[in-house]
Amino acid sequence: MKTALTIAGSDSSGGAGIQADIKTMCANGVYAMSAITALTAQNTTGVSGILESTPEFLASQLDCIFTDIFPDAVKTGMVSSAPLIRVIADKLRQYRAKNIVVDPVMVSTSGFRLLSEDAVKALKEQLLPLASVLTPNIPEAEVLSGEPIAGPEDMERAARSIGVRYGCAVLCKGGHRVSDADDLLWRSGVCTWFRGRRIDNPNTHGTGCTLSSAIASNLAKGFGLEQAVERAKDYLSGALGAMLDLGAGQGPMDHLHSLSGAFLGGPEERGCGG
Ligand SMILES: Nc1ncnc2c1ncn2[C@@H]1O[C@H](COP(=O)(O)OP(=O)(O)OP(=O)(O)O)[C@@H](O)[C@H]1O
Ligand SMILES: Cc1ncc(COP(=O)(O)O)c(N)n1
């Protein structure tokens, strides 16, 4: 079985972060492992607290993983602070990690900072140059490129400038654009658009985490980047389109929408009354 590792924060409500990543990796047929950067106390209405791992303990998690079950792909999400970013970059270099998908998570959908202000510099200097592909949303692409993004041409310009600067492919996600869900992949000078059907579902908590984990899973399985992105978008559209509706705020998606089997149903579905 192919293997994938997520290096990210825990979301106690299960819709984003480590929990979304693990569900996504399992649904995409790879063995999932995790190194947790921080615990968050959050639910669908917002984040109420963060407790970071120490750099030493994060390093220990990564040593345990890389010296035993080597991941075929790695995804990074909430990396939280400069000292943790330094550990992640050092370990990825030390173990020559491959297929690295960096989701440059900065602020949650609910508006809470998940990357400290002073860590943006460390993210740029240490982690981005190690990425095989970077997956910024539009606000993140604006921070990384230093340019405002108002339309598709701006997405192309920003992705190119980020990709050239950090020597990686860049998938600029269009979920924050009002009218569509089209994402732009810049790779070695070539722009490719991935057209998405915008699904009328307000429950988009964790879409970015899910997409980047699905890309990592498909890279782990041996798909090329374009196919990995296409398959990841299809998976995400299915999870959003399943129209799960949980929690009082912006709810999670149904990550396991495509699974079927004997262990899924409860007594009602099975007609055995408990
Ligand atoms: N309503 C929607 N219908 C279809 N696809 C969507 C929708 N919203 C977002 N997407 C897709 O979800 C993926 C993630 O994009 P988005 O821009 O929401 O990332 P993000 O902001 O990092 O996510 P997050 O909400 O986890 O922070 C992209 O492929 C985007 O096109
Ligand atoms: C631990 C963790 N990682 C990432 C996100 C971003 O997801 P979203 O933007 O959907 O809130 C989050 N809320 N929590």
pLDDT in tens, the chain (274 residues): 999 999 999 999 999 999 999 999 999 999 999 999 999 999 999 999 999 999 999 999 999 999 999 999 999 999 999 999 999 999 999 999 999 999 999 988 888 899 988 899 999 999 999 999 999 999 999 999 999 999 999 999 999 999 999 999 999 998 766 557 999 999 999 999 999 889 999 999 999 999 999 999 999 999 999 999 999 999 999 999 999 999 999 999 999 998 877 788 888 765 554 4
Nearest CA to ligand 1 atom 10: 175
- Residue pair 225/219 in contact by the 8 Å Cβ criterion: yes
Write the single-letter amino acid at 23: K
Best of 13, 110, 204, 218 to mutate for ligand 1, by most ligand atoms within 8 A of CB?
204
Best of 114, 201, 210, 253 to mutate for ligand 2, by most ligand atoms within 8 A of CB?
114
Phi-psi region of 46 (alpha: psi -120 to 50; beta: other; left: phi over 0): left
Write the single-letter amino acid at 252: P
204 annotated active-site: yes
- The total of structural domains in the chain comes to 1
Instruction: Please report, to the nearest 10 degrees, the dihedral formed by the alpha carbons of residues 86, 221, 13, 176 taken in order.
Output: 80
222 annotated active-site: no
Instruction: Please give the residue range of the domain that contains residue 212.
Output: 3-270
In short, whether 252's Cβ falls inside 6 Å of ligand 2 is: no
In short, whether 251's Cβ falls inside 6 Å of ligand 2 is: no
pTM, full prediction:
0.96
Write the single-letter amino acid at 3: T
Active-site entry in 15, 174, 208, 251: 208
The residue written with tokens 């994402």 in the block is 183
Instruction: Say which CATH number the domain at 175 has.
Output: 3.40.1190.20
